[in-house]
Structure 1
């Protein structure tokens, strides 16, 4: 029997909406008020951000490994950087990257209002180029760039994660497209790139990996010590 064409892959919610709603009710609105403003801007402009549940997850992961040096491939206007900067502490450093200078301006305004801006260096340009110009190992390399670049970014970042550190990437379930035979892609080739990216990670003997299905799927790969 031929598999049906999935016209709207977003129907494949990794987490049942009722469960998602329950999890959101647990976290409440206890963080800085600027988060609500950032989330409202995202909703109004259909701008992709990781959202509250994934943000808390990122903060928890960073605190768990005492992360102080974090590199973000694709930072938007600083939503995920807020969570990483909170976790990194006053001596921590989060290097953000985005191709749009307006996103840098917005991020700096938002993060300044939270008191976290001194922990963040925001660079405008192609994330991969900025990464090659930045020396040293990282506690966390976080990937939320263009999905077609995911395999390249993994291959660049994996050798720059310190032992015991983490490689994290968002959107690795890609609204369910990775799990169906037929799908409608946002950009041709992006689903294939995510599939390749995920396979590369899970086949790498130097990393332990797991996908948290919250929102659109977050892969966490820990470099073995």
Structure 2
């Protein structure tokens, strides 16, 4: 269920589009509408870019990338010498992402890995400036376990869909057994982040909820 009145959501989306006119981004949004593919949307995308730019991010790990919509914003943030590691289990999404991001002039900043997101993450070494989580919701606790020690001090753990249509607060339950089933996993991950004294976190009620946690120690 929408958490914001449609008029407010439209206002935020329009505001996020100010100064950002990009034909490739328009195509990606059109594809998402046509195929019912979940993307973060332009307002959240700009928020992700802002957060990454604010900490001077140069290395971003995406756990769940689809056809590259959120990577578009992260790739803009990291600059020409930065890197965004994308993950998705569907090779068709990887091919679509390459097509879109290459035309947007951002593909050289992308390392796209097809396969399980957490397996791909484990194969990489070192810390990241941002770890972004948007995998299947039942995997959220495992994603946090994998990410919490690999975000650099001063870096961010960011997670989408953390309000889950209000289900985390008991709103909208009973309308979808599948969504209800994974709600406890989202709540458990969010609580674990909140309980970690090394992180300062805020759950931003934008779209379906964006959890942003800054590692401070």
TM-score category by the smaller chain? over 0.9
| Pair 1:47-2:34 in alignment | no
Which residue, out of 201, 208, 212, partners 1:216? Answer: 208
1: distance between equivalents of 2:198 and 2:129? Answer: 15
Counterpart for residue 23 of structure 1: 12
Q: Deviations over 1:25-63 (max 9, x none)?
A: 323363321111111111111100000000000000010
Counterpart for residue 129 of structure 1: 119
Where in structure 1 are there 5+ consecutive unaligned residues?
1-9
Q: Which runs of 4+ in 1 moved over 4 A?
A: none
Counterpart for residue 199 of structure 2: 207
Shift of 1:211: 0.9
CA contact (8 A) 2:3 2:166 kept: yes
**Partner SS state of residue 148, structure 2:** helix
CA contact (8 A) 1:172 1:218 kept: yes
2: distance between equivalents of 1:185 and 1:172? Answer: 17
| Pair 1:69-2:69 in alignment | no
| Pair 1:193-2:194 in alignment | no
How many residues get paired? 214
2: distance between equivalents of 1:89 and 1:25? Answer: 25
1: distance between equivalents of 2:8 and 2:92? Answer: 36
| Pair 1:157-2:133 in alignment | no
TM-score by length of 1: 0.92
Counterpart for residue 7 of structure 1: none
CA contact (8 A) 2:167 2:180 kept: no
1: distance between equivalents of 2:90 and 2:46? Answer: 25
Where in structure 2 are there 5+ consecutive unaligned residues?
none
Could you say which structure has the larger radius of gyration?
1
2: distance between equivalents of 1:25 and 1:138? Answer: 31
Computed over aligned residues only, the root mean square deviation of the Cα atoms, in angstroms, reads: 1.3
CA contact (8 A) 1:75 1:144 kept: yes
